């Protein structure tokens, strides 16, 4: 049995960022992650510039690793009608394969400890956490951060409400060799879903799409679904016809839930997708995960260093800050997706955006934050 100040369950962007920040503040940190680095993940792989100053304050400079500067967004309807706009803040394209690996090495450099196993249970008793892994190892800590992603068996163990609701979404992601503007992120609609295209640091084009699982099942496999459904959009038809896949098989993830989640469950501070998943069309999930980790690590530092600052105060302040920072973005994302997936409404919205480009920029601003002060 080993004891740490903080155990982070999940070594994605939220977990790694929180681990790095808390370690820099002088605390002992263990990250429990089931996969060794590097590995690919289903992700849009676009990071808003709002978090770059904060990352640089942690000693992570993405431009040094070839991150692609992106300043323009293009949107198309099922019929192929398009509108483009400059992104208010812009961002960078970088693969999760590289980004997570960069963050992992920064954490190692600082002295963060890693356990490459699956966490089976998290229990809180007598003001202490106990985390048990699938290899029967037991770890104790004062704080646990839940950063294990969109869905996990831990959500069942913690009896989280959203696990009782059916989820109808599937995501598919791959890297491709394809001529594509490096400064562009494109969002293309198809029946029942949409897909994003953007370049990453390797020069590959990341294609990641979200689809209704019931529609996908009708076509039985990815190749058929791409041919019969995704390719109804002329831009995506041209892409799929001419792009050369760099993966043996696309990555997939099913049962994606956009239902409301709680930022605190059984005293565990939830972070990143574990606390709330923004619709991918907003292109802001990675930045939200990083920002949430900053909020968590600052409050954890306060809790571990100030005897008068109670766990109840920590939980209340974290939940309030999380909701204040992200709830509006999640609400706008839900509304925007409902419009996008309605053919008539998406055409009306596109016509309005063509007449008033500020409308699209305003929507983008509502799903992103300002640059995080450091």
Predicted pLDDT of residue 354: 59
If one counts every other C-beta atom within 10 angstroms of the C-beta of residue 227, the result is: 15
Q: What is the pTM of this model?
A: 0.92
| Residues of the chain with confidence (pLDDT) below 50 | none
Question: Which candidate, 358, 280, 288, 287, places its Cα nearest to that of 327?
Answer: 288
Residue 327: per-residue pLDDT: 82
Would you state the pLDDT for residue 212? 86
Say how far residue 148 (Cα) sits from the centre of its chain.
11
Residue in the structure block whose two tokens are 């961002």:
91
| Residues composing the chain | 374
Q: Determine which helix (DSSP H) or strand (DSSP E) holds 241, and give its type and residue range.
A: helix 234-242
Q: How far apart are CA 271 and CA 249, in angstroms?
A: 30
Domains along the sequence of the chain with CATH:
2-166+256-366 (3.50.50.60)
What local confidence, expressed as pLDDT, does residue 134 receive?
96
Place of tokens 């930045």: 287
CB atoms within 10 A of CB 135: 10
- Residue 130 has what pLDDT? 98
Q: How confident is the model at residue 282, as a pLDDT?
A: 61
Q: What angle do CA 354, 356, 361 make, to 5 degrees?
A: 95
Half-sphere exposure of 292 (CA within 13 A, CB side): 33
Task: Render pLDDT for 100-114 as a digit per residue (tens, 0 to 9).
Answer: 999 999 999 999 999
* pLDDT digits 0-9 by tens, 24-43: 999 999 999 999 999 999 99
Q: 38: cis peptide before it, omega within 30°?
A: yes
């Amino acid at each position: 049995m080993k004891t740490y100040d903080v155990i982070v369950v999940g070594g994605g962007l939220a977990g790694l960022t929180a681990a790095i920040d808390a370690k820099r503040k002088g605390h002992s940190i263990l990250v429990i992650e089931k996969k060794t680095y590097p590995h690919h993940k289903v992700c849009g792989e676009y990071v808003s510039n709002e978090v770059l100053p904060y990352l640089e304050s942690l000693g992570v400079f993405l431009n040094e690793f070839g991150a692609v500067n992106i300043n323009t967004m293009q949107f198309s309807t099922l019929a192929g009608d398009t509108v483009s706009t400059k992104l208010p803040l812009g961002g960078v394209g970088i693969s999760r394969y590289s980004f997570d690996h960069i963050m992992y090495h920064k954490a190692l450099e600082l002295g963060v400890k890693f356990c490459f196993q699956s966490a089976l249970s998290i229990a809180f008793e007598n003001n202490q956490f106990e985390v048990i892994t699938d290899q029967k190892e037991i770890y104790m800590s004062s704080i646990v951060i839940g950063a294990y992603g969109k869905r996990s068996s831990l959500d069942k163990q913690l009896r989280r409400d959203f696990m009782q609701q059916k989820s109808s979404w599937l995501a598919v992601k791959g890297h491709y060799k394809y001529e594509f503007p490096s400064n562009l992120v494109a969002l293309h609609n198809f029946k029942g879903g949409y897909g994003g295209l953007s370049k990453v640091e390797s020069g590959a084009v990341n294609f990641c799409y979200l689809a209704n699982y019931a529609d996908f099942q009708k076509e039985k496999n990815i190749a058929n679904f791409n041919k019969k459904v995704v390719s109804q959009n002329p831009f995506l038809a041209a892409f799929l016809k001419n792009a050369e896949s760099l993966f043996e098989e696309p990555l997939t993830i099913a049962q994606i839930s956009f239902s409301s989640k709680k930022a605190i469950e059984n005293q565990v501070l939830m972070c990143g997708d574990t606390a709330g998943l923004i619709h991918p069309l907003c292109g802001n999930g990675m930045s939200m995960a990083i920002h949430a980790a900053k909020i968590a690590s600052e409050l954890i530092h306060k809790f571990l260093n100030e005897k008068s600052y109670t766990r109840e105060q920590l939980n209340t302040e974290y939940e309030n800050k999380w909701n204040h920072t992200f709830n509006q973005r999640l609400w706008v994302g839900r509304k925007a997706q409902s419009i996008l997936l309605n053919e008539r409404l998406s055409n009306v919205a596109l016509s309005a955006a063509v007449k008033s480009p500020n409308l699209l920029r305003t929507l983008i601003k509502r799903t992103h934050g300002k640059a995080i002060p450091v």
